[in-house]
Amino acid sequence: MTSPSVLNLAPVVPVVVLEDAADAVPLARALVAGGLPAIEVTLRTAAALDAIEAIAAEVPDAVVGAGTVISARNVADTVAAGARFLVSPGWTDSLLDAMKAAEVPFLPGVSTTSEVVALLERGVTEMKFFPAEAAGGTAYLKALSAPLPQARFCPTGGITPASAPTYLALPNVDCVGGSWMVPGDALAAKDWARVERLAGEAAALRG
């Protein structure tokens, strides 16, 4: 991952799935107001690129990134839309090359020790650990910290407000990713005040 790092912007990175790009700006403003400036908009919907572009243009205090990046085309499209960081669920050599060439921070996804070592071999020290809970959770990450202390992680996948502090207490975890501060019912109701409150609670989490 190139400098600057996105791992130290906040203890939690919201992982956002948007069906309607019109929700992007008010949602981003609520998250930023709650203290979560780094926002990962996943490429799981047709609205994602428009949402990234809108946040980049209209919410200057947000650091908008793209998640579920799985191809060089995804890299090019999201950076062109204004993404300031990239997150992938996994990685290949070609995807890693594309993310490095984009010259924005990126978090390639890993779930095994061999994948971590391979990234370190390529000069990458900051990674997404995914799917965190299914791949071994805090016990797995703690086990990695002794032999591979140079690897830094943002665990994502199944993390809750209850489990997040345990992750954040680990020496090799700088932040976690999660979606609990953007519940579906709040998004459907456009209850931005609730999102801001939940974001504030997430921003206050510490290990």
- Show which residues are catalytic: 40, 128
Largest CA distance in the chain: 47
Beta partners for 92?
none
Q: What gap in Å lies between CA 37 and CA 39, rounded to an integer?
A: 6
Dihedral angle sign, alpha carbons of residues 29, 52, 153, 184:
positive
Coil, helix or strand at residue 106: strand
Q: Are 106 and 67 a contacting pair, CB within 8 Å? A: no
Q: What gap in Å lies between CA 133 and CA 100, rounded to an integer?
A: 28
Q: Which residue has the tokens 């095994």?
A: 112
Q: Are 131 and 112 a contacting pair, CB within 8 Å? A: no
Q: Are 105 and 86 a contacting pair, CB within 8 Å? A: yes
Coil, helix or strand at residue 190: coil
